[in-house]
């Protein structure tokens, strides 16, 4: 009887150990973070006109992303952005992201923003819907652009409107440029030649 009891006890201990290991494996699987894609081609966002901007359609082209505003001292950069877009159209896509994060310098509606850009600067490059580009409410694309843990290159603090982010043909982060760096500057164009 004692041997039978010890056998059941040993069997129970083995079962318990196996169950704990299995539980630990499951917990490890559940708690492991999914590795974030290091390419912008995984993102989509609503455009000013209500359509969807799917970044996967830009594979094979460099992408310049700019947080924009209609009532900012840097707003005239729209003109240079459009010239840059026209000059490098076969190898570059520019996407503007209107934002009201800095001094409330953006118009209220997507329709107003679209009209302003077209009428005043002849903008033809894609423009996303108005978004937050910093803080806890930042759109996922800007979290990707500003956090090294996501883009795998560097952290970038957006200090004002017209901060620029350049991505390569595979959608991987290359560099960022502060507001004062103009779109037609050599600092940006050297990456496009």
pLDDT, tens digit (0-9, with 9 covering 90-100), for 61-102: 999 999 999 999 999 999 999 999 999 999 999 999 999 999
The gap between the terminal CA atoms of the chain, to the nearest Å, is: 86
What is the CB-side half-sphere exposure of residue 82 using CA atoms within 13 A?
A: 14
Q: Which residues are catalytic?
A: 72
- Cα 187 to Cα 90, 154, 182: the distances in Å are 20, 18, 9
Q: In what order do the strands lie in the sheet with 62-68?
A: 92-98, 62-68, 164-167, 173-177
Q: Is 9's pLDDT higher than 50?
A: no
Nearest-angstrom CA–CA distance, 186 and 135: 31
Indicate the burial class of 132 (C-beta count within 10 angstroms; 0-12, 13-18, 19 or more).
middle
Average pLDDT over residues 126-152: 97
Q: What is the pLDDT of residues 14-70, one digit of tens each?
A: 444 544 444 444 433 333 445 556 899 999 999 999 999 999 999 999 999 999 999
Task: Provide the mean pLDDT of the chain.
Answer: 88
Domain limits, the chain: 44-190
What global pTM score does this model have? 0.81
Contacts of 137 (CB under 8 A, 6+ apart): none
Q: What is the CATH number of domain 44-190?
A: 3.40.30.10
The more confident residue out of 145 and 33 is 145
**Residue 3 — very low, low, confident or very high, per pLDDT cuts 50/70/90?**
low
Contacts of 117-122 spanning 24+ positions with Cβ under 8 A? 117/70, 117/78, 120/78, 121/78, 121/79, 121/81, 121/82, 122/82
For the chain, what is the largest distance between any 2 Cα atoms, rounded to a whole number of angstroms? 95
Task: State residue 22's pLDDT score.
Answer: 44
């Amino acid at each position: 009887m004692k041997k039978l009891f010890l056998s059941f006890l040993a069997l129970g201990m083995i079962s318990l150990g196996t169950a704990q290991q299995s539980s630990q494996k499951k917990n490890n699987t559940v708690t492991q973070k999914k590795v974030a894609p290091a390419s912008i081609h995984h993102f989509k966002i609503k455009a000013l006109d209500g359509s969807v901007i799917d970044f996967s359609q830009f594979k094979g082209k460099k992408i310049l992303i700019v947080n924009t505003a209609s009532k900012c001292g840097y707003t005239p950069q729209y003109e240079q952005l459009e010239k840059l877009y026209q000059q490098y159209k076969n190898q570059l896509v520019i996407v503007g992201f209107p934002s009201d994060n800095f001094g409330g310098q953006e118009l209220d509606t997507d329709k107003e923003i679209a009209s302003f850009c077209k009428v005043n600067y002849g903008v033809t490059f894609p423009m996303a819907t108005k978004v937050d580009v910093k803080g806890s409410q930042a759109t996922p694309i800007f979290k990707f652009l500003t956090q090294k843990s996501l883009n795998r290159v560097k952290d970038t603090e957006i200090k004002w409107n017209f901060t620029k982010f350049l991505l390569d043909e595979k959608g991987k982060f290359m560099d960022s440029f502060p507001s004062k760096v103009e779109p037609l500057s050599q600092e940006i164009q050297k990456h496009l030649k």
